[in-house]
Amino acid sequence: MFNKEKFAQIIKNIKEMYNSQEEFSKKSDIGRTYLSQYMNMKLEEPPKPRILEKLANASNGTVTFKELMNICGYSEKTLESKVLSIYELLKKYHKYINNGKSDKTNNYEIEGFIEYFQEYLDLLNKSIDLDSNVPVILEDIFNFSTAIEDYMYIGGFILLYNQFILSLESEDLIVVNDYNFIDCFNIEDIYNNLNKLQNLELLSYCSKNISIKNKNKMGDFIEYIDSFSRCLSLAHLSEYSSNSLIDFFKKKARNTSYEANDIQSKTDTANSLSPYNQSIYMCPVYGRIAAGQPNWAEECMEGKMPIDPELMNIINPEECYFLKVNGESMNKVIKNGAYALIRKTDWVENGEIAVVLVNGFDATLKKFTKQGDLVILEPMSDDPNYTTQVYNKDTEIKIIGKYIGKMEMN
């Protein structure tokens, strides 16, 4: 559970190490508004782990990442890392049961283990959907008239089932009342239990040996089942192929994530197929913004576009908006007609790209540099017609956002 009070006090303690909140914000690379919201306990959900890592790095050793994770109620491993570990265990079992042989000639057997287990997960989902009082038993998955021939697949299934139950128990989703775990790496244990497994009761809506803890919140339980199944498929696929979804799964398994500038056209795919089914935020799209000579920015919402805050490394999506680029002055970074993703802020580092109001009503997207009393707005274009703009203190300059990513349509 997220301990808001303790977390707020830790942030305040870290802030005291710096001369100002602005310095703390710069050091941690976390927005000042976002930090203030947690210090004042305005947010109900804890920050993402990557934000906690930034805080730990900015704390000068006074608090560790692991301590922050515990305070915020996170388990130490992501589901992806858990399932990847389970898959590695499954490969070891496969090698064990085949007397040390596990290669391309028999790897189809690992896929078979997974298919049998996912068949069970389908039965579990159906049991929940129907509020069924009919138990699910192992004979619903396997034909025990051929149990001797299928013993390897039964053992692989039991290994996955055991790990699935342990994972559910660690998430406090079930209560294990009376279930004996079989050691699948002990051939004697498999042999002695093979004939007894036919009527083994598996977890279901009405199971007695293992019970679902909170049947009033079955949505979370079903989501976990589906995510577990999907991660298991991705772990297996990652052995043989690579694409943006598999790469994202592997990054999650290593507790890392994409940078915001990686979003581009990958976003739709990742939003629909993310292993966690993460919540999508509908980000407002505002009027066209000139990326040539400054032009008045129309503050009128034209619609909304979906973003995945976790995939795009966005801390607080409500501070973000899209602006459509009109012009070629930034075409080395973002194409004409693309959507620039902007985070609301009134401050950027020299060399960063910002949305800037000039004289209160003109807006432009440019590389920002401040040298003394001078503000330099620099285009990043292949077109030499676009030139650097330099303003002195007589010109009112106001930063209204920082460029953090883009959405480009091919």
For residue range 12-37, what is the model confidence (pLDDT) as tens digits? Answer: 999 999 998 888 988 888 888 888 88
CATH class label, 4-71: mainly alpha
Q: How far apart are CA 332 and CA 329, in angstroms?
A: 8
DSSP 8-state assignment for residue 388: -
Cα atoms in the 13 Å half-sphere on the side-chain side of 120: 28
pTM for this structure?
Answer: 0.47
Query: Coil, strand, or helix at residue 313?
Result: coil
- CATH code for residues 281-407: 2.10.109.10
CB–CB of 1/69 below 8 Å?
no
Position 409 pLDDT exceeds 90: no
Domain boundaries defined on the chain: 4-71, 79-237, 281-407
Alpha-helix runs per DSSP H in 173-261: 187-193, 218-237, 244-253
Amino acid identity for residue 63 in this structure: V
Kindly tell me if the per-residue pLDDT of 149 is higher than 60.
yes
Give yes or no for residue 313 having a pLDDT over 50. Answer: yes
Q: pLDDT grade, residue 180 (50/70/90)? A: confident
Q: Is 24 exposed, middle or buried (0-12, 13-18, 19+ CB in 10 A)?
A: buried
What is the dihedral angle through the alpha carbons of 188, 191, 195, 198, rounded to the nearest 10 degrees?
90
| Cα dihedral value 30, 35, 36, 40, nearest 10 | 170
Point out the residues that are catalytic.
329, 366
Instruction: Please tell me which residue, 364 or 170, carries the higher pLDDT value.
Output: 364
pLDDT digits (tens, 9 = 90+) for 196-220: 788 889 999 999 999 998 888 788 8
